[in-house]
Amino acid sequence: METVIAPRAPLRIGGFEPVAPVVLAPMAGVTNAAFREVCRSFAPGLVYVNEMVMATAVVHRHDKPGNDKTRRMMTFGPDERPRSLQIYGSDPEMLGRAVRQVCDDGTVDHVDLNFGCPAAKVTRKGGGAAVPARPNLLRAVVRAAVRAAAPAGVPVTAKFRMGIRDDLLTHRRTGEICAEEGVAWIALHARTAEQHYAGEARWEAIAELKDAVPDVPVLGNGDISEAADAVAMMAATGCDGVVVGRGCLGRPWLFADLVAALNDRPVRPAPSLGEAMVVMADHARRLVAQLDGYGGPRHSGEELALRDFRKHTSWYLTGYPVGPEARRRFSMVSSLAELEDLVAGLDPDLRLVEGGERIKRGHTNGPRKVALPDGFLDDLDSDAVPDDDSVMAISGG
């Protein structure tokens, strides 16, 4: 039986209407300018969110030594629209300052707030997925961001998880607070922070959230490996769009598949290995261009880029029967020339193994106890800012 999505209003962000209700999830160390550029080459006209940056780092990016990394992370292509940036923090004043800066200086067209990162180095400082456990603190953070962005007309959205753990679910209340404070849309990763990335996403929570906030667009996130999964999620939950994370790692063409499926057009077959390697090499060259001049005295920009790109080689090869030795050699690549030599040694006619599209990519760790500040859950009505917010490390959500 064919899966059918009920008619719904088009998804919008400010004055931008994507060609399909699809958003790239911000992923630390992944969704940089080069990766987004590759994705856009397959499906222009979608919303591709930059990797997460810390509010404190944004505020001080121009006046503190060593903040080249933050500035580099906030790079957008000259023709990239909308320029979407995810920011995190648990101090309303600091987060408001960060949002105001990037809006006033014209850096962004869209700000997304991260309330979903489960990394211990973030949650133990009260940030990321920890924030929604304290509704009053959450409200203060969201309000500060929305008010800071309003004068520039920049829309603010929010992404969060189901809660800390199964006995502390917060997604409905989080959605209600975000809606009341004026966010443009909300996105739910249908796992708890304790799950991290293990187990199956619980799409029923997305339906619950949509029921709780029917007047605000709700996007679903979790376990979208193929275009058919997005169609199924929207049909099953009534959500207004999808956020795609790990499913696109090493598969930027997934966005073209999603646009086709969500516009009732045929989805093309998975690419051959040769076709996938053309994309991989192009991605590597774009990353080298992005990092040109950032290598410092010890490494060239190309060396820095290829070290970062090694994880991508594994994802691009996932599902293709190339053998462990080839994978090992790709995982040690250090130059574009070496990458091209390795590609030349592969059989370009190889096809994905059966089920290759659904092999998990990226994080699979969990469940894991959530690290929180001492006493953080003792007073959930508190709006106090957790201590030492300024030392949060950059991470992904």
pLDDT of residue 300: 74
Same domain, 178 and 323: no
Per run of 10 residues, the mean pLDDT along the chain (length 397 residues) is 72 95 96 98 98 93 72 92 97 97 96 97 94 98 98 98 98 98 98 96 98 97 98 97 98 98 96 98 96 66 93 98 97 97 98 96 93 94 76 35
Q: Are 112 and 82 in contact (CB under 8 A)?
A: no
The pTM of the full predicted model, rounded to 2 decimals, is 0.94
Q: Are 322 and 350 in contact (CB under 8 A)?
A: yes
Chain centre distance of CA 336: 27
Same domain, 27 and 160: yes
Are 121 and 264 within one domain?
Answer: yes
Are 257 and 341 in a shared domain? no
Active-site entry in 117, 178, 239, 248:
117
pLDDT at residue 62 in the model:
76
Residue 32: closest CA among 211, 291, 219, 256: 291
- Residues 260 and 277 placed together within one structural domain of the fold: no
* Judgement on whether residues 115 and 49 belong to the same structural domain of the protein: yes
* pLDDT attached to residue 174: 98
pLDDT score recorded for residue 397: 37
* 46 & 91 share domain: yes
Question: Collapsing DSSP states into helix, strand and coil, what is residue 108?
Answer: coil
Neighbours of 265 (CB within 10 A): 10
- What is the per-residue DSSP string for 179-230? HHTT-S-EEEESS-TTTTT-S---HHHHHHHHHH-TTS-EEEES---SHHHH
| Rounded-to-integer distance, Cα 303 and Cα 287, Å | 11
Number of domains making up the chain: 2
In a domain, 231, yes or no: yes
Give the CATH number, domain containing residue 75: 3.20.20.70
pLDDT value, residue 391? 36
Burial status of residue 188 (CB atoms within 10 A of its CB: 0-12, 13-18, 19 or more):
buried
Q: Do the Cβ atoms of 72 and 394 come closer than 8 Å?
A: no
- The pLDDT of residue 266: 97
Q: What is the pLDDT of residues 99-115, one digit of tens each?
A: 999 999 999 999 999 99
Q: Are residues 138 and 197 in the same domain?
A: yes
Distance CA 221, CA 49 (A): 14
Give the closest residue to 185 by CA, choosing from 11, 318, 316.
11
Contacts with 184 (C-beta within 8 Å, 6 or more apart), sequence order: 12, 13, 14, 155, 156, 157, 217
> Is 238 within a domain?
yes
Q: How high is the pLDDT of residue 394?
A: 33
Q: Are residues 236 and 280 in the same domain?
A: no
Annotated catalytic residue 39: no
Asked if residues 187 and 221 have their Cβ atoms less than 8 Å apart, the reply is yes
Q: Give me the domain span that covers residue 44.
A: 22-269+387-391
Question: Do 201 and 314 belong together in one domain?
Answer: no
In a domain, 264, yes or no: yes
Separation of alpha carbons 237 and 16, rounded Å: 24
Cα–Cα distance, 230 to 222 (Å, whole number): 10
285 and 322 assigned to the same domain: yes
Q: pLDDT (tens digit, 9 = 90+) per residue, 61-102? A: 877 655 678 888 999 999 999 999 999 999 999 999 999 999
